[in-house]
Chains A and B, each alone.
Chain A
């Protein structure tokens, strides 16, 4: 589904990762690991199409990715249902009930998102992935502020998604108990490539 060859990504014009190769097939869950600042977020944003790679090739059919970043994209003055229904409509999907059930949000549907706890809000942000209907989930630190039960809930939904022919690629530090692949990004750290190339990229 996704094939990455020799990709170099830059943050703020400075290359952080280079020569990244990875493949993702349907049914796979790939976990990206590496120390803080290695470029996990930058790589995910590049794969999601939010920024172009400095070099290398990313091969993927269009409109496959559901991306979720550090912030949840939840509107504080909308209720849980309104938030989810909005994203379902944007992605042309109908039913939000399975997403509510998978993340145990049914008791909160009429509550405004500003009155949710951080963990509940995160669950709402993750439930959004299920209403996109997109096959590749790209998740950046999805388990932040989730408790142990919610992490299990999340792992179960990723497993169900992969079993249904989807795929997931995520940056996380904790062990989700998924029998997925792990890619350590440390060997790809960009060394000695200073901003000669990066400078151009920043002004392209």
Chain B
């Protein structure tokens, strides 16, 4: 499983691996929003946590279909399914690799973009914490969606439609943590709920993804 993680990370950073696509999208979105809504500092400060969370979510979405589709196309997925690694393990590792190449860099990049959006100083810490806690759930749910659509040609649209509703609770509580943190309010409740979503998806989604893969490989 460590070999699989290492391979996926190497593939992601090599040419054509898609690493950086999500980051570039996140950067472009955050740079363009101030132009779109105008330069009033207090308006930007109010919407900054929500915009950054939506940006992170959409950036995650961009690279989801690569989680299983590439391995399906070149036949690796068949070979992995007959390998001694259980498909549940494959799903966890794939989601982890996706998070390490998408969610983690987004989390680290977010404070820098917070400056562009005039995020209040109190909000930076909570923004990073909320993304660090919430983005694993995005990758895990995404791995499930990718497993469901793996056999479909150009399954990206269906994948987005399937996954977006499942992303809504994560977005609500994640953005809530960042917004309340930026306003100097107590963030305990939404943070616990966000962590609960991440823990729940970690417990459930690998099994759901593996079941979907088994059906799609038939």
Residues of A within 8 A of B (CB): 45, 48-52, 63, 65-78, 82, 86-87, 89-92, 128, 132
Contacts and interface: CB of A to CB of B under 8 A. Distances in A.
A70 B79 CA distance: 11
Nearest to B80: A90
Contacts of A128: 79
B82 A66 contact: yes
Contact of B82 (A50, A52, A74, A77): A50
B74 A50 contact: no
Nearest to A85: B3
Contacts of A71: 73-75
Contacts of B78: 45, 50, 67, 69, 73
Given A77-B16, A90-B83, A69 B75 contact: yes
Contact of B7 (A48, A49, A70, A78): A78
A73 B76 contact: yes
B150 to A, nearest CB: 13
A73 B10 contact: no
Interface of A is mostly: loop
Using C-beta atoms within 8 Å of the partner chain, give the interface range for chain B: 20 to 34
Which 6 A-B pairs have CB atoms at the shortest separation, nearest pair first?
A71-B75, A89-B3, A51-B218, A77-B14, A73-B76, A73-B75
Contacts of A69: 75, 78-79
A50 B83 CA distance: 11
A182 B74 CA distance: 29
A65 B84 contact: no
B218 A50 contact: yes
A23 B103 CA distance: 50
